[in-house]
Structure formats: structure tokens, C-alpha cells
Chains A and B, each alone.
Chain A
Amino acid sequence: MRSITIAAKNAFRISVEAENISPDKLAPLTIEQIGSLFVWQGNRQKKLSDLFVVEGDDGPATVEEMTIRLVGDFSQVKRIGEGMTAGVVEVQGSVGMHAGNNMLGGLLSISGSADDWLAREMRGGKVVVMGNAGNYLGAGYRGEKCGMRGGEIEVRGSAGAYLGEHLCGGSIRILGDAGDFAGAVNQGGTIFIGGSTYLPGAEMSKGTITVKREAKVLPSFLKTEIVQIDGLAFQKYAGDNVDNGKGELLVGVGSS
């Protein structure tokens, strides 16, 4: 195994884009080479070592062997773990937008919270967030028909609006609440929300959305039966009928 630590030298006011911080990019490089990779801060292209301190095992290693630990304030650092196929990225604290976007494999774990667009267009691997996630978790890019297609996301806290928009596959589990329009245009993925949400499953055509507590349900969903899951009662709905959708929406009954 190869483990390296990247520490942010300070809190960044102007956000940093660091798509190079991923196991795939770093595994084949030595510590020194890693330091000379590029990152962007606004219109300034900088060396990674200008903004971060890199320490740990020297390379190279395979992607699978690679663990990257991020310490310090990464809340304004975007695109961490973009497109990673394997290995581990461990964020000790919070992370900026677009972490794990286009992720194909490996593990991205975040001990704090994640900003918007976490795991955008994810295809595989696993993302775990101990805190909250922002808007557009596991969603697609603007105008795209597909968001997340595969993999697994777990958020211990809450998630923002448009959770899993255009979801085409994979599963998302939120222990807390989710913002408005969770699972909009779901085309085959699975979403579980431990808390409440608002207007879930708008225009969903396939897939399942389970909301344990409360949800305002759209007038275009057909109320069907009450089902029991793990000893809890859920009201089942079919929809979204505006598009003759065959999705399944389950909303907890009377649990509190």
C-alpha cells in the first residue's frame, strides 16, 4: 500500500480546482512529481506544492494501492477524486464542489461535509460522507439526460436539493433529510432518505425512492398500497404519471 497526505497550506478564499488530486493521477508519480502537478486558483495556474504540502510514501504504486489523505481546509477545493477508478481518497474535514465527479471506482470518504455536485455523473465505486452533502448529489451535468449511472453513495447527514437528478443507476442513501425534488427524472436508480423531503420523484420513469419520514407528494402520483419494510409501514405510490412513469415511491406512514 502507498499512502500520502496532502495538507492545505491555508484556507482558500478564491476556490481551487484540483482535478489532479486523484489516485489515478498520483499513483505513478513520486512525491516530488506530485508537487509539481498543476492546480488552478482562479485564472492562476499554480504548482500543487504552492498551495499544498505533500508527504508520505514515495511512488510509484498501482492505483489500487493508493490512499490519499487530505487534511486542512479543502472546503474550497473542487474536483477532488475526479474520474478515479480505484484506490482511496480520504478527506479529513469538508470538501469543495464536484468531488468524485465521473468516479468509476474506489472509495471517496469525507469526514466532514461535501459541497454541491458531489459524485456528479458517478459510474462506480463508493462515496461516504459523515456530514451533509450539498445540492445535486449524484446528479447529471446541466442539460444531460443521465446523472449517476452506478456505484454507491452514503450520506450520514442531510442532502440538498435535486438529489440524484437524472439518476440512471446505482444507489444513494441519505440518513437525514433531502432538499426539494429528490430523485427527479429518476431512470432506474435507488434512493433512500431517512428523513423527509419535498416533491420527490418528479418525472421519474423507473427506479425506487424511499422516504422514511414525510414527503409532499406530487398530484401526478397514484396512491397504491401500504407495504411493510423492516417492520415499518410505507405508503406506496406509482409515478410519475405525467410521463407514464413506472417508478416506485414509498413514503413512511406514521413513523416519527
Chain B
Amino acid sequence: MIGVPLTHILFLSTALFFIGVFGFLTRRNMITMLMSAELMLNSVNINFIAFNKYLFGHQLDGVFFTLFLIAIAAAEAAVAIAIIINIYRNYQSIDIDDADTLKF
């Protein structure tokens, strides 16, 4: 296959990862934060696929891991969103900074 070298893809995934981190650290909206977390997970997925494809083509571990990862991410998202909805019930807001009654 014509040469997109591994490093490019790693760049992409790493960039994605740090974008996710950035979003998670800066976004005030819980849903957005959750999305940023998903973004980080996806960068991980890209990593797995890429490594699997480029380095260890004879096996499928990475791919499997990715599949599991997607599933789990979905589950996590489900629970997280449920919780966030509950937050909204209690706080009438999903701004992360409003939910800071527990402190010190």
C-alpha cells in the first residue's frame, strides 16, 4: 500500500489524544468533556490499528482490542450520560463548575 508511513498516523493519533486532553481540561460542558474523553479513546484506537497494521500484520490483537474498546466506550458513555442527566435534574445545569458542592 502506498506510503502513508506509520509516523504520520502516530502524529495524528497523538494530536487527537492531546486535543482530547485539552478539551477535557478546558470545556465547561460535561457532555463536551465526555466527548473529549471519547476522543482520547479514539486516538488510542487509531494507535492500536496502526501498530497492528504496520508492525504486527500477522496477528489481530490490536484490532480486537479496538473492538472491545469501542464497546466499552459506548457503555461508559451510556452510564456517564445517565449520570449527567441526573446532574441536570439536581443542578439544573451541566456546567462542570456548578457541580462543586463537595470540596476541601
Q: Do A and B come from one complex?
A: no
Could you tell me which B residues sit within 8 Å of A by CB distance? none
